[in-house]
Structure 1
Amino acid sequence: MATIPPMLEENVQTYTVTDEEVGTRLDIFLTWKFPDITRSRLKTIITDGHVSVADRVAGKAGRLLKGGERVVVVVPAPPPPELSYDPIDLDIIYEDDDLIVVNKGPAIAVHPGAGRPDGTLVNALIGRPGGLSSVGAPIRPGVVHRLDMDTTGVMVVAKTDICHDNLAAQFKEHTPLRRYVALVWGTFKAKSGRIDAPLGRDVADRKKISTRSKKTRKAATVFKVIKSFGGFSLVELSPETGRTHQIRVHLTSINHPVVGDQVYGTRVPHQGLDKPVFDSLKRIKRQLLHAATLGFTHPVTGEFMEFTAPMPPDMAELVGRLEASANR
């Protein structure tokens, strides 16, 4: 009987095929179990002999699973990329010996990832005096929480390990003050409310998050309408949990997707809009979601600190033109 190539013990995961999973392709089954690994890499892991089914090396990604079969997966750790300094111009709101608060701009990823070795917030911050905490190294040093690549606004990054652990604990307990603003499609019947909809990986597209997934985790977002325009609303949002894409998916679930969201709610600007509004909308290529306020307890001083960042220019321009159009 063939044996699985030896790998580190901590990389071994074992699963049993349930009745609901009978007949599922092996590679699809593994995408459910490893949502953070691409399907192409999982296929390579299978063909390289790192997956066994019923005590035999699988070898084929298309193998159909039977009920009760034992699936053993050994995931080789990818080689860590070398983190390089990238002198990106950053908007630093606050900095001391323990942490950095930054107003992240659009089109900037928080840390390197597959196909993106540089040009990220972390690449820009590692060259600053004091460096970043070693927690999360080699590719996520100092990262306590994240914003989507095209979401703008306030973020805190840890410079020391003690600070990192303390801030991470605060975010785990959901104690930091977090307020976002978003420009969304449509007008609300209620001026405020709470979206309580568990979230999980989309079954059809594992890169997306959905409220209709088989496996979900609790997620809730409180919203308050700031202003309404013809066919648009400016909304303040406070997430009670911190799930991936939470605000964007929650707003889409109530039929108010974020303007410019290319994943969860793209809409085509209609011709009935004023020309200045229409022109601004055509230039928007990202979701207009902004982390406006972040508050937390400083890990060293114990002081509660609150930071705000104004709307980025593209969002402010469109909101201004909507206001002008509504006042005509």
Structure 2
Amino acid sequence: MTVLRYTVPPENDGCKLGLFLRMQGVTAGLIKSVKYDGDGFFADDRPARTNELVHAGQCIRFALPPEHDTSVVPQPVPFSVAYEDEFTAVLDKPAGIAVHPTLNYPDGTLANGWLYRLRQQGKDGIFRPVNRIDKNTSGLVLCAQNAFAAPLLAGSAHKCYLAIVQGTLPLGPGRVEAPIARRGDSIIGRCVRADGKYSLTEYTVLAAGCGHSLLACTPRTGRTHQIRVHMAYIGHPLAGDTLYGGSDARISRHALHCGVITFVHPLTKEHIRVESPLPADMADLAKVEGLPAPALHDLPCD
């Protein structure tokens, strides 16, 4: 059971408990759940109501309520854990595995694998991904371990992707600012179109070979297939991305990897950075093209 504790600072003396909790990042939904599904709130070990006033120096504590049941079936699915604590987890997903069950991928997903890992450890819990990546995109997925952490992580997370695109681009920074819309009546495909939603991708060309370039990409908006669509729009589709004009002669999936995630820890407020090197298929392509392995610690992610 996870118990959260806060000491009331002088500047919050006389504040209502509910407002004090909201100021600590506790959502209204979680406050309601603690009141009605959990053990309630305590001020210096005395039960307290949310409309009561708190005073400087008081210790406010509450236990997170039990998790609700989930319909996701635990299954052994390959992935690794890049970072984990009581509030957060960063999973490193191989290409070819969907993040969560859908109509097309009802099982065998990262969610199934995470539930299996929890159950093997004798733990309860559900799968709360803060960011999602395409089935054939590899790399880091940030997850919240509880309802308290989820909204705080969502507000602080930043991602940097590594991409290998076709063609030679000049070294250095660039940006693509172009609206993205659904392509025709396709469920999957997207395109740049004037009536689309505002979309911005910033990138840095880290290395360029004879036929491919290695990029670090930061999507400033969160559109479906954003990096893939924007790179194709400027005439440099991702290697292997046949949906958007790339060739799969050298790699069998689109060459995109979430290599860096940063976030502010929901409890300690520490800035945390997690990195994942290029997977084998992208590393092999880079080596053949003479593209040096990127120095992940040098990549900006904010």
Q: TM-score, normalised by structure 2?
A: 0.68
CA distance in 1, matches of 2:125, 2:236: 38
Alignment of 1:250 with 2:217, yes or no, is no
Q: Is the 8 A contact 2:170 2:208 kept in 1?
A: no
1:260 to 235, 240, 255: 240
SS at match of 1:318: helix
- Which letter does structure 2 place at the counterpart of 1:144? V
Retained in 2: the 8 A contact 1:183–1:259? yes
Q: State whether residues 181 and 190 of structure 2, in contact with CA within 8 Å, keep that contact through their aligned partners in structure 1.
A: yes
Q: Which residue of structure 1 lines up, in the alignment, with residue 166 of structure 2?
A: 185
Shift in Å at residue 268 of structure 1?
Answer: 6.3
**Rounded Cα–Cα distance in structure 2 between residues aligned with 1:124 and 1:255:** 37
Q: Which residue of 1 aligns with 2:206?
A: 226
Q: Superposition pairs for residues 38-77 of structure 1, below 5 Å?
A: none
Structure 1 residues 143, 243: closer, same or farther in 2, change over 3 A?
same
Q: Which residue of 2 aligns with 1:154?
A: 140
Contact 1:125-1:131 at 8 Å conserved across structures: no
1:317 to 2:284 alignment: yes
Contact 1:183 1:233 in 2 (8 A): yes
1:288 matched to 2:268? The reply is: no
Which one-letter code corresponds to 1:307 in the other structure? V
Q: Which runs of 5+ in 1 are unaligned?
A: 1-80, 134-140, 270-280
Q: CA offset at residue 131 of structure 1?
A: 4.1
Tell me how far 1:117 sits from its aligned partner: 1.8
Contact 2:92 2:140 in 1 (8 A): yes
Displacement of 1:189 after TM fit?
4.2
Deviation of 1:97 after TM superposition, in Å, equals 1.2
Equivalent position amino acid for 2:200 in 1: A
Q: Which runs of 4+ in 1 moved over 4 A?
A: none
CA contact (8 A) 2:78 2:94 kept: no
Q: What is the CA distance between 1:324 and its match in structure 2?
A: 8.2
TM-aligned CA deviation for residue 164 of structure 1: 1.1
Of all paired residues, the percent bearing the same amino acid is 34
Answer yes or no: is the 8 Å Cα contact 1:200–1:209 preserved in 2: yes
RMSD, matched Cα: 2.1
Give 1:96 deviation, angstroms: 1.1
> Map of 1:23-34 to 2, 5 A cutoff?
none
Q: How far did residue 213 of structure 1 move?
A: 6.2
1: CA distance between counterparts of 2:226 and 2:291?
A: 31
SS of alignment partner, residue 76 of structure 2: coil
The answer for the alignment partner of 1:163 in structure 2 is 149
- Find the aligned partners of 1:232 and 1:165 in 2 and give their Cα distance: 38
Distance in 1 between residues matched to 2:150 and 2:158, nearest whole Å: 17
Query: Mean Cα displacement is larger for which, 186-195 or 218-227?
Result: 186-195
Q: Which residue of 1 aligns with 2:99?
A: 110
Contact 2:201 2:219 in 1 (8 A): yes
